[in-house]
Amino acid sequence: MRNKAKAKRAALSLSFMQQAATQAADNFLQNIPLERQNIIAAYYAMNNELKVLPLVEKLWAKNKKICLPSVIENNQPMIFRAWQRGDELIAGAHDIKAPNESAPILVPDIIIMPLVAFDKSGNRLGYGKGYYDRTIAQMDKKPLLVGYAYSVQEVESIEYESHDMPLDYLVSEKEVRKF
């Protein structure tokens, strides 16, 4: 399922992906509650993931604090480091772009999660390493979990295990779903 979903995403045209990123950002801002949510964890898109930078730019304009995940140790919970406009990102674990080690550690109110696939029940299929699930499980207060994906990434059903963290919302270029 993971390989099939990745191939479907990789087949999208560059122009569609750019337009989808703008539409998804607008959908997020119109539908996700931000009044009391000041720290938002995003991600630096790779491998044809839905680009989150158009949304991050708009969140910075609303004076929201943005952070990105950082893998400190394999198979352990991640931390989230502050990312401000103009900050240089470095290649971290798994070649994922992240703020450098001097960036402050933040605890997000919302986590925008990349994914490979999602289903109608709010289950997500990630990359199989479990970093988000481990990280969220050890947090004192569960943040709002928002999957960020192209609508073509929807599948009929995803098998999940007891440690898998379901989404609260799914944002795509077409819609926002609340679970």
DSSP for 92-143, please give it: -GGG-EEE-TTSPEE--SEEEE--SEE-TTS-EE--SS-HHHHHHHT-SSPP
For residue 70, what is the domain's CATH number? 3.40.50.10420
d(CA 39, CA 41): 7
pLDDT tens for residues 101-151? Answer: 999 999 999 999 999 999 999 999 988 778 998 999 999 999 999 999 999
* Count of domains for the chain: 1
Closest C-alpha to 124, from 27, 1, 19: 1
Question: pTM of the entire structure?
Answer: 0.92
Segments forming the whole domain that contains residue 27: 2-178
